[in-house]
Every structure is written in structure tokens, then in C-alpha cells.
Amino acid sequence: MLKAVIYQLGSEPKLSLKRFLIGLAFFAAAVAFIALGYYTLAWLQLIGLVLLLPALVMAAWGYLGIFANRFAQVLEKTDVDPSIFDKDKLK
């Protein structure tokens, strides 16, 4: 069950990277608005705060997909045949 979710999340690494980079760009824009609002108009901070949540969600979703792809590659390489642990074959 968990393997299926990992393979599903990591099935499109290029899309995950694109999501992560878009989220990172929105995060940088949100931080810029917050900093700009600190020095100039205070309402710019509100725009930054509104942008911050979707940016974090998008970046986390993309990063999760990238991580799932890497983890799925590890699972494929370490996938062991369960029949080698069969007690009847050892005798």
C-alpha cells in the first residue's frame, strides 16, 4: 500500500521539480513583499502573507514528489524476493 503511494507520487519527477521551483519562486516573492512592506507600505505585507501559504504548499508538494521518486529508486534496487527466506528451501 505504501509502495503504491510512493510510486504514484514519484512517477513524474520533472513535474515535481517544476512544482518545487514554482513554489520556491512564489516563496521568494512572498518574502520580498513582506520585507518591502516592512520598509514602505504595510499592506504589502498582507500580499506577502497571502502568497506565502500557497507557496509553501506548492514547494512541499514538489519536494515530496522529488523525494518519493528518489525513494522509489531505492526501493526498486533493494527489492528482495521473499522466497529466499522460505524455510523449506533451506533444508
Query: How do the domains of the chain map onto residue ranges?
Result: 10-77
What pLDDT sits at residue 4?
84
Q: What angle do CA 31, 29, 70 make, to 5 degrees?
A: 95
What global pTM score does this model have? 0.78
Residues 6+ apart with CB under 8 A from 47: 33, 37
Q: Going residue by residue through the chain (91 aa), what tens digit of pLDDT does each one get?
A: 788 888 888 889 999 999 999 999 999 999 999 999 999 999 999 999 999 999 999 999 999 999 999 998 888 888 766 666 666 655 5
